[in-house]
């Protein structure tokens, strides 16, 4: 059985919409894996959303085009959880949810707490913006 067929079967059996390259590393060598992932992208089975991060695809009901099987928010959250990063909502979303402001947050901002992240995750021309708790004074009120 070709590596491409084994990858296809492995991807279809996985729950969730995000597949990390490290999860597939045991199926073949680096060069074989790169070639098979490129072939699956060309066939429209996967779309690359970051370095070593791929998302499953589906057909758009409106246009019939192949699109990622989720929004930026869901795919980025799933990716970072698989990588062991705990996420919180950003300050703008917290202000809106608390009723302090009526302005909706325009970007998907992920607060990574005390962890610093520089990984780019992009879907459909939009990418994740990160913020962390560094430089914020903690008050006891």
pTM: 0.83
Predicted confidence pLDDT, tens digits, the chain (141 residues): 799 999 999 999 999 999 999 999 999 999 999 999 999 999 999 999 999 999 999 998 999 899 999 999 999 999 999 999 888 878 888 888 888 888 877 788 888 888 888 889 999 889 998 888 765 555 554
* CATH 1.10.10.10-classified regions of the chain: 1-70
Beta bridge partners of 122: 127
Task: Specify the CATH number of the domain 1-70.
Answer: 1.10.10.10
Q: What is the chain written as a DSSP string?
A: --HHHHHHHHHHHSSSSEEEHHHHGGGS-HHHHHHHHHHHHHHTSEEEEETTEEEEEEE-TTT--EEESS-HHHHHHHHHHHTT---EE-HHHHHHHHTS--PPP-S-EEE-TT-------EETTEE-EEE-STTPPP---
């Amino acid at each position: 059985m070709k590596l491409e067929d084994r990858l296809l079967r492995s991807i279809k059996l996985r729950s969730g919409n995000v597949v990390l390259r490290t999860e597939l590393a045991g199926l073949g060598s680096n060069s074989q894996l790169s070639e098979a992932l490129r072939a699956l992208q060309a066939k429209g089975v996967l779309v690359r959303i970051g370095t070593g991060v791929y998302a499953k695809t589906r057909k758009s009901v409106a246009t019939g085009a192949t699109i990622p099987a989720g929004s930026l928010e869901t795919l980025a959250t799933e990716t970072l959880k698989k990588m062991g990063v705990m996420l919180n909502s950003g300050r703008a979303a917290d202000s809106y949810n608390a009723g302090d402001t009526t302005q909706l947050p325009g970007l998907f901002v992920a607060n990574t707490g005390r962890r610093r992240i520089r990984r780019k995750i992009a879907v459909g021309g939009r990418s994740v913006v990160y913020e962390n708790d560094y430089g914020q004074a903690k008050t006891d009120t």
